[in-house]
Amino acid sequence: MDVMYERVAGLDVHKETIVACVRITAGGKVSRECRTFETTTASLEALLGWLTESGCTHVAMEATGVYWKPVWNILSEGKFELMVANAAHIKNVPGRKTDMNDAMWIADLLACGLIRASFVPEQEIQELRSLLRTRKQLTREQTRHVQRIQKTLEEANIKLDSVISDIMGVTGRRMIEAMIGGLRNPFKLAELADRRIKASRKELHDALHGRLTDHHRFRLRLHLRQSDALAEAIGEIDQETQFNRLRGKHGQKKALCAVAASILTAIYHMLKDGTHHQDLGANHFDNRSTEIRAKRLAAQIAKLGFEVELRPMAVAA
């Protein structure tokens, strides 16, 4: 089989070790050298130095769980072309021998140009993806705690969800916090309902007339505290993404769609024109013209019920 790259390396990545094989083709002969490195930062830097000294032009490794990511972060500083291959694609190549070292196999495939590189986004995009995955996990956990609050209320024969649409809304939280505080009187609990609640006072009374015990109150307090802690963590993640800005202007659903549309638009131009992604920076939208920012702030103040008159400040002589 024709050799496309004369100096390559294949990496077999594990949790604690990396087996690296440097394959060099010279004068029609192939020589290989394999070394084992630990996955510590110092050892990965040593691996980078060895690959550089060997004159490797291409280096490939399998995408094994999350173990490849710290390896990628350090080796991407090298002058060689680094690629991550789907493990299934490598294993499905015909002719693989079971007794052949994985690192040697990867190096052989790479030398012949038989490895298709997987797309690896820039570090900023990887971090954004990680944040969004974490946010999704935290939101799922928060939903579970809300469901447990609902289950606890049902056990106490309190039908709160039959009279209000969101038990974690203003009215629902007010009533649940009052229950946790020891209030059991259904009439007094019903008085905590917001005036916009459509249910009548009798319907609220009947729904809130249950058998709430200290055990139920303990569980409600526990799950509500956990839900609030998760909500705070989700808020911190929102502060780290162009999502918080859009949500304040258009609402959460439109913000999600806007962010998705921006990502798809960027990907389209990258694929169409062959350009690289250029991050405009976290302060891009804050650095827009002063007039636009002033109008946006004035609109926000107007929503609070205040009138604002925009006048340029006099410049001191």
Per-residue pLDDT tens over the stretch 67-89: 888 898 899 889 999 998 887 77
Q: Report the Cα 65 to chain-centroid distance in Å.
A: 16
Q: Has this prediction a pTM greater than 0.75?
A: no
Angle between helices 243-250 and 252-273 in degrees, nearest 10: 130
Contact 37, 13 (CB under 8 A): no
Q: What are phi and psi of 108, to 5 degrees?
A: -65, -45
First to last CA, the chain: 79
For residues 75 and 128, give the distance between their C-alpha atoms in angstroms, rounded to a whole number: 21
Chain segment 245-274, per-residue pLDDT in tens: 555 555 666 666 766 777 777 777 777 676
Q: What are phi and psi of 60, to 5 degrees?
A: -130, 150
Q: Chunked in runs of 10, what are the mean pLDDT values of the chain (317 residues)?
A: 88 91 91 93 94 94 83 90 82 54 89 84 75 90 94 94 88 92 92 87 91 94 94 84 57 65 73 67 58 78 78 62
Single-letter code of the amino acid located at 20 = A
Q: Which residues have a Cβ under 8 Å from the Cβ of 63 and sit 6 or more positions away?
A: 84, 85, 86, 87, 118
Token digits for 24? 């060099």
